[in-house]
Structure 1
Amino acid sequence: MRIGVNEVVASDLLPGILHNMHRNFPALEYTIIVENTPEILKRLHDGDVDIGLGYNFAAAPEIEVLATLHRRTFLITSRNHALAQRRRVRLEEIAGEKFIFPDSSVALHQMLQDALIRSGVEVRTIMHTNSFSLLRQMVQDGLGVSMVIGRFLQSKREQLAFIEVENLGIERKPLSCCRVAGRAPTSSSVAFAASVKALFAQYGG
């Protein structure tokens, strides 16, 4: 079975799904491709992967959406940051903070930049990276703060504080599980999609 997945989902969500799949399909072999969403879409069209799991899949008649989950946006900080004990924060409250941005190749980068400009909030940019694993590690180590969509962290417990951002003013893009419409699905891909849908239901999606 071939799966295309965003990096943050690969580290947070996918291990639990694969564990359940292996229990039910012990002989099944997996190929996991970790890519950004445009590349996953290309691989779906080319037949390189059977299932795509990630953010910001554009609506298209040839793409069948099997499950979706709308997630909130969180400021992430180290556990000893001044805001770490807060449940919610307004965008204005992070003015002047050292900030770690997703790379411009990640859709969230432009969404955050636009929100900061609209709000007139300036932060101190100290890093750009296309690796969410590195981004979260640097936040955990106190190098700066950042923002992420959702908070799974099922496979490992990082020492991060998640504070919901109240007035970000950006459209929440869903996490989606997709495949190419019209192609006969394999039994394993049907089972995988069912596992994803069940997990999304636990989170309200």
Structure 2
Amino acid sequence: MLHSRVLHYIDEVARYGSIRAAGARLHVAPSAINRQILLLEEELGEPLFERLPRGMRPTPAGEVLLAHVRRTLQEYREAVTEIRDLQSLPSGEVVIATMTGLASSIVSTATVNFHARHPEVRISIRALSTHEILRAVADSEADLGLGFNVPSSPQLELCWQMDTRLGAVIAPAHPLARLESIPLAQCAAYPLIFADRSMVIHGIIADTFAEAGLKVEPAFHTNSIETMKRLAAAGEAIAFLSRFDMAEDHHNGTLAFRPVRDRAFSNNILSLVRREKHGPGPAALLFAEEIIQTLESVAHPPL
């Protein structure tokens, strides 16, 4: 009902080359179809079809109009499909296994946005270690896994991946916050917050300082990303995390991220994974898209 029936008349006449065949196809009297085409030709001031002894063929003007008609009908069918999809919104539960820093930043942001559009879907967020994330997804205890340096596995399918280099995470009022990037040696002049030895990033951070010839004694050790961020926000201490660990804090203005200028930290690969076989259902796939969109917005912030 949204579009005039004449669009269907033109399409069918062109497709079958005959008003009679189009009428039979549409269950409309041929005289009614012919009358509508004549009225449209009068309005446009151009013939749309050549009346041949054995049928009808679009004129050049008819071809132009026919292309418009078919685009319009296709767009209408797509709109109808989307509307019908709304009647079967995803429901159920999606379980994502992730790390504490990502749970409070990337995953929480994606969850809020996703829930606004899909309130029937329950999201369960489980904070786990790297190897626990791998096991949870492989054993079907979680639909999705988001973590740093997750080992590859034939049981997992990679949805998204990026090398997310560590940088200095500091309070906005920190003396080094005025710099766009910070030399590693200047960091050594302030209290340092290191991940403890149970975390993969401990080795990344410690090795980088050692390779630079800087002997440092961290003021704080912790296995909690949240504790690192709170310590950094409270004074002049410096933590070393990725942008993705503190995306929400950066958005709220409670922390700043600065790349380290003269010494690159080694790879810190962030991956979103799912089960390779018997993968997640529609709700989990939609949530994965939301996670990826959030990750991309952090990786490539608008100017």
Using the size of structure 1 for normalisation, the TM-score is: 0.90
Structure 1 pair 156/86, CA: closer, same or farther in 2 (3 Å)?
closer
State the identity %. 23
* Structure 2 partner of 1:152: 247
Q: Does the alignment pair 1:50 with 2:143? A: yes
| Mapped partners of 1:107, 1:177: distance in 2 | 17
Match of 1:135 in 2: 228
Contact 2:170/2:256 (8 A) holds in 1:
yes
- Partners of 2:134 and 2:225 in 1: how far apart? 20
Work out the CA distance in 2 between the residues paired with 1:134 and 1:163.
19
Are 2:224 and 1:168 equivalent residues in the alignment? no
> How many Å separate the matches in 2 of 1:41 and 1:195?
21
Q: TM-score of the superposition, structure 2-length normalised?
A: 0.63
Paired residue type of 1:193: A
Report the CA distance shift for 1:155/1:25 in structure 2 as closer, same or farther (over 3 A).
farther
Q: Which residue of 1 aligns with 2:161?
A: 68
Does structure 2 conserve the Cα–Cα contact (< 8 Å) formed by 1:76 and 1:161?
yes
Counterpart residue type for residue 6 of structure 1: M
**Higher share of residues assigned strand:** 1
Gaps of 5+ in 1: none
Give the secondary structure class of the aligned counterpart of 2:175.
coil
Q: Which residue of 1 aligns with 2:171?
A: 78
Within-5 A mapping of 1:24-39: 24-39=117-132
2:283 corresponding residue in structure 1: 188
In the TM superposition, residue 125 of structure 1 has moved relative to its aligned partner by 1.2
How many Å separate the matches in 1 of 2:180 and 2:279? 45
| Bigger Cα displacement from structure 2, 147-156 vs 33-42 | 147-156
Select 1:97's aligned residue among 190, 196, 199.
Answer: 190
Q: 1:123 aligns with which of 205, 216, 221?
A: 216
Report deviation, 1:85: 0.8
Distance 1:177 1:145 in 2: 28
Q: 2:184–2:263: 8 Å Cα contact kept in structure 1?
A: yes
Distance 1:196 1:154, change over 3 A: farther
Take 1:18 and 1:117, find their aligned partners in 2: how far apart are those partners? 39
State the 1:63 CA deviation. 1.5
The ranges of structure 1 where at least 4 consecutive aligned residues each deviate by more than 6 angstroms after the TM superposition are none
Output the CA distance in 2 between the equivalents of 1:201 and 1:126.
34
- How far 1:147 sits from its partner (Å)? 0.9
The alpha-carbon deviation at position 70 of structure 1 amounts to: 3.1
Gaps of 5+ in 2: 1-93
Map of 2:96 onto structure 1: 3
Cα-Cα RMSD: 2.1
SS in 2 for 1:83: helix
**Offset from partner CA, 1:70-117 (integer Å, 9 cap, x none):** 323221222332212111112122234211111222211110001111
Q: What is the count of residue pairs matched by the alignment? A: 205
Q: CA deviation at 1:23?
A: 2.3
Alpha-carbon contact 2:144-2:272 (below 8 Å) kept: yes
Larger Rg: 2
